[in-house]
Structures are given as structure tokens and as C-alpha cells.
Structure 1
Amino acid sequence: MTKAEFLNQFHHLRLPHLEPDFPLTKTGRPAAVLIPLIDYGTSLNVLLTERAHHLRHHPGQISFPGGAVEESDNTLFDAAMREADEEIGLPPSHVDIVGVLTRYRTVSGYEIAPVVGFVNPSFELKLDPNEVESAFEVPLAHVLNRKNHLIHKTHLNKRSFPIYFIPWQERMIWGATAAILRNLSHHIHP
């Protein structure tokens, strides 16, 4: 899928199917992540990170650059770009924001705004070892293909909800990251 093909599918007025998220009993803590689409001209890849192994929450989990919205952030876009710069050294000047997907609520109490942006591939990764163990790319076509998505149902407080998985080589993309990619898939391929 090219940038032009992605934009043609992304900008539409139809309401896409959304996967169920975690049913929070109150408003979640605002967070924003960047879905960085590396634009190689003839194809797009998604840049993902592996969270540092020493972190207290979600160590080693595959994620997008992002985190909680801070008081200094004027918008969700600002939060996503600040976090991407801090975590992987992605300067805002290398990102062309496309839009934002529907927010996704997590079991840890966050309400995540997934910001989609095209990334110029000429930037050099500068990983913050306090937050990121590694970074890697996955072809966008792979994560958008729902044949590559696995769903496991789990129960919490007598309620059933899904956990999503997307295998890629020796890694497993799962949880909120996989759910957000699945929602992006529904948005692009309704």
C-alpha cells in the first residue's frame, strides 16, 4: 500500500466497525500514541517499539511511541509528537499528521488517542534506553490484514472482553497496540 492508496482509504465518511475496548467506569486518563507510517514511496511500514525491560508497567511489550497527555501539551497531537521525540528521537519536522482514530480505552485506565502520521524515512532513531529497548518496522499490509489477527477472549469482573494478537516474525504485537492496529484495519478496509 502506498501513501496515496492509504490516504484514499483513510479519508472517508463511513463509520468503520470498532473492536470493543475495556469498559471503564469513569473517564480514562488521556493518552496519545503516534502510529508512525514510514513512507518508502512504493510501500508503507509501521514503526513499533519494544518497551524497556526494566519498566514497572508493560515491560518488553510492543507499543507505539506515546504516553500520557501532560499539562504542557496543548493537543493530543502535541502529546503524541512529544512522546515520539522523547522515546525514539523522531522530530516533529519529519512527521506529516494525517488524522486521529477513535480513542481506545485500556484495562490500565487510559483513553488513548491514536494519531496517524507519515514519517520521512531519513531520520535517525535515537532510542531513550529508559523507555525503549528496541524499535522495528512491520509492513503496513501485514498488520492491516485481519487474517494475521488472533483474538483471545478473557474475563474480568464477570465480563468477557477480547485481547488481540498480531504475530510478526519472532515478535508478538498484542493488547492495546494490536487492538488499535485492528481498528486501523477496519478504518482502511471496512
Structure 2
Amino acid sequence: MIDFIQQLERSLKAPLPGRKAQYKMAHAVRQDTPPPPANAREAGVLALFYPKVKDWHLTLILRPNKNPNDRHGGQVSFPGGKREASDANLEVTALRETEEEVGVDRRDIRVLGGLTELYIPVSNFLVQPYVGYLEYEPVFRPQPSEVEQVLEVPFAAFMNEKNRQRIDLQINAQIKLKEVPYFAVQQQTVWGATAMMISELLEVLGQD
């Protein structure tokens, strides 16, 4: 199994496929996303791999949908969040937030590298995704205020073309998006920025 991690680490050190890979799982309106403004808020997230039943799994979280001001409530995402003033860099942000949200000791996580940053206009966040792994299967302790459920997804599920689908999504009372690409895993709709990051991760691994 370690061959997968070694391949991933080598691939992350090579030039990244970037936005072209991200846009393969983006809705049409994302193709016209403007550059991030100067006041964009910084955030870091972590694509955390770990071994389970002889397969590498990827850690995702389902965010609660209780706060009407949370633009990402009820969505599936990677653990992560906003950079705090005390964070030396965004890698520190991603590790700190991961520990807070899913209860994994950040000292046990080995960061392999980063993916291409991604601007999210609806919340004005400029997100830097990182990729890391644990050598063991963790016992997750989700933070109730931030995490409704931890999703333990075999990475092979994202490689399966049958799990790439499209759906019409009602975002709010005024906005409905047509033909939104998403990953259908564990009865969840993984779309938007998270799907775009996973799309680049697949291409990094040559699985696109």
C-alpha cells in the first residue's frame, strides 16, 4: 500500500495539472470565475488519506446545515477552515483545523504536498488544499458544531467513472444550477470546490 503514497508524493512534486483539471468537475458558471480579489480570505484544507481494510481511504466531512449564514452548510468538504492570525502558514491552518474538526492528532499527519489553490466566490475564500496521510486507521472524534458526519470514502470510489454524475441543484429560493457535475459516494453529493480539488488529485495520480 505504501507504493500509492510514494507515487502520490512524487506526483505532487511535479508540475500540477491546475485549473484545467479542477474545471472538469466544475459547473459551467465556474468557468468565468474572476481572479480572487485583494480582500479574499485565506483558508487551508486537507485531503487526508489513511489505510483501512487494505485500501486507502479519503477523509471527508458533512457540514451541519443549521446556520443560515453558512454558505457551505449541508455540503461535503475536506476538513479545514479559515487561517488564524497565529497560523504560521496555510499548512498549519489545514493541520490545526483537521485536528479540531475530526480529532486526528496533527503530529501524526505527514503532509505530502499541495494542490492548486482555488477561489470560492460565494464565500470569498482563497483555499489552499494540502494532501497528507496517516500510517494507521484513526478513530475520528468529530466536532459537533462543525461536523455532522465524518465520511470514510475508499479512494477507489472516486476513480470509478460510474460515480461521476450530473444533477440539477436548488441552491436557494432564487438559484437553481443545471447539470452540476458531482461524485456520488456514500449517498452523498460531492460537488463544487471539493469535487474540483478531487478532480485535480485524480489527475495528479494519472487516474483521470
Q: What is the match of residue 142 of structure 1? A: 157
CA contact (8 A) 2:50 2:137 kept: no
Distance (Å, rounded) in 2 between the aligned partners of 1:75 and 1:146: 36
Distance (Å, rounded) in 1 between the aligned partners of 2:166 and 2:187: 18
Q: Using structure 1 for the length normalisation, give the TM-score.
A: 0.84
CA contact (8 A) 1:24 1:109 kept: no
Q: Using structure 2 for the length normalisation, give the TM-score.
A: 0.77
Change (3 A) 1:130 1:123: same
Q: What is the match of residue 65 of structure 1? A: 79
Amino acid at match of 1:172: T
Query: Residues 96-115 of structure 1 correspond to what in structure 2 (within 5 A)?
Result: 96-107=110-121, 108-115=123-130
Distance (Å, rounded) in 2 between the aligned partners of 1:163 and 1:50: 19
Deviation at 1:10, TM superposition (A): 4.3
SS in 1 for 2:148: strand
Q: Deviations over 1:72-127 (max 9, x none)?
A: 11011100011011111111122111111111111222111111011243432111
Amino acid at match of 1:24: P
CA contact (8 A) 1:34 1:64 kept: yes
CA contact (8 A) 1:164 1:179 kept: no
CA contact (8 A) 2:52 2:137 kept: no
Amino acid at match of 1:11: R
Mean Cα displacement is larger for which, 19-28 or 175-184?
19-28
Instruction: Give 5+ residue unaligned stretches, structure 1.
Output: 155-161
The runs of at least 4 aligned residues of structure 1 exceeding 6 Å deviation read: none
Q: Deviations over 1:117-155 (max 9, x none)?
A: 11243432111111111102111111244553235799x
Deviation at 1:174, TM superposition (A): 1.2
Mean Cα displacement is larger for which, 82-91 or 18-27?
18-27
Deviation at 1:69, TM superposition (A): 1.0
SS in 2 for 1:19: helix
Distance (Å, rounded) in 2 between the aligned partners of 1:125 and 1:153: 32
SS in 2 for 1:32: strand
Query: Between Structure 1 and Structure 2, which shows a larger proportion of helix residues?
Result: 2
Distance (Å, rounded) in 2 between the aligned partners of 1:169 and 1:152: 16
RMSD across aligned C-alpha pairs, in angstroms?
2.6
Q: What is the match of residue 159 of structure 1? A: none
Change (3 A) 1:100 1:130: same
Distance (Å, rounded) in 1 between the aligned partners of 2:119 and 2:161: 21
Equivalent pairs counted in the alignment come to 184
Instruction: Give 5+ residue unaligned stretches, structure 2.
Output: 170-178
Q: What is the match of residue 11 of structure 1? A: 10
SS in 1 for 2:73: coil
